[in-house]
């Protein structure tokens, strides 16, 4: 859910339900590395409510688009991490056929 102003879409707060530091901190990292972002941060208003608020302020671009791009970046990173890990494990198994006991 987005909370922003009607006239200026470059500053918005987003409220994500059922999320925690796991996603918020990772998204904050990608947001901060985006050159369009002038400020970004997140907070968990209350520890027993599972929601996080993410604040995004940009130099002009719509905050919603920037947040979406940040998530997209994160997804691409994840995909790369996955493929790299799979390759590394496959390599390891090739090199050490005896070293790993893989039952499948």
Partner 1 sequence: MARRDERMSEGEEETEAESMSESESESDSQSGGEKSRGGLDYIMSLPDVPMKLPPHVELQRTRVLCNADAPNHTDTIQYSGAFASVGVDNSFRLDHFRDKFRVEVIRYSDEDMEFDMIGVDPALANAFRRILISEVPTMAIEKVLIANNTSAIQDEVLAHRLGLIPISVDPRLFEYADGNPLNERNSIVFKLHVRCERKKHLRRTVKASDLKWLPNGTEFLESENSNSSSSSKPKTYTEFTCRQDSLPEFLDNPIGFKGKLGDIIIAKLGPEESGDLEAQCKFMLYKGVLIVYFIQVVLLEEIEDEVAENLKSKCPVGVFDIEDVANGKKRLTVSQPRACTLCRECIREGEEWEKRVSLRRVKDHFIFTVESAGALPPDVLFTEAVKILETKCESVISDLS
Question: Do 70 and 27 contact (CB within 8 A), yes or no?
Answer: yes
- Tokens read off for 57: 């302020």
- Tokens read off for 83: 């493929």
The distance of closest approach from Cβ of residue 47 to partner 1 in the complex, given in angstroms and rounded to an integer, is: 15
Among 23, 42, 46, 47, indicate the residue that binds partner 1 (CB under 8 A). 23
Can you say whether the dihedral through the CA atoms of 19, 77, 29, 66 is positive or negative? negative
Residues 37-96 interacting with partner 1 (rule: CB under 8 A): 37, 59, 64, 67-68, 71-82, 84-89, 91-93, 96
Q: How far is Cα 6 from Cα 61, in angstroms, rounded to an integer?
A: 14
Report the residue number, 8 or 91, with the smaller CB distance to partner 1: 91
Q: Where on the chain is the footprint of partner 1 (CB under 8 A)?
A: 1-2, 14, 16, 19-23, 25-30, 32-37, 59, 64, 67-68, 71-82, 84-89, 91-93, 96, 99-104
């Amino acid at each position: 859910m987005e909370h922003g102003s009607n006239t200026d879409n470059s500053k918005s707060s987003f409220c994500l339900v059922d999320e925690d530091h796991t996603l918020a901190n990772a998204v904050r990292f990608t947001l901060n590395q985006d050159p369009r972002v002038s400020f970004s941060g997140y907070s968990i208003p209350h520890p027993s409510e599972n929601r996080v608020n993410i604040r995004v302020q940009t130099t002009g671009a719509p905050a919603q688009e920037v947040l979406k791009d940040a998530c997209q970046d994160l997804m691409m990173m994840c995909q790369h991490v996955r493929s790299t890990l799979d390759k590394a494990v496959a390599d390891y198994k090739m090199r050490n056929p005896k070293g790993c006991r893989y039952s499948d």
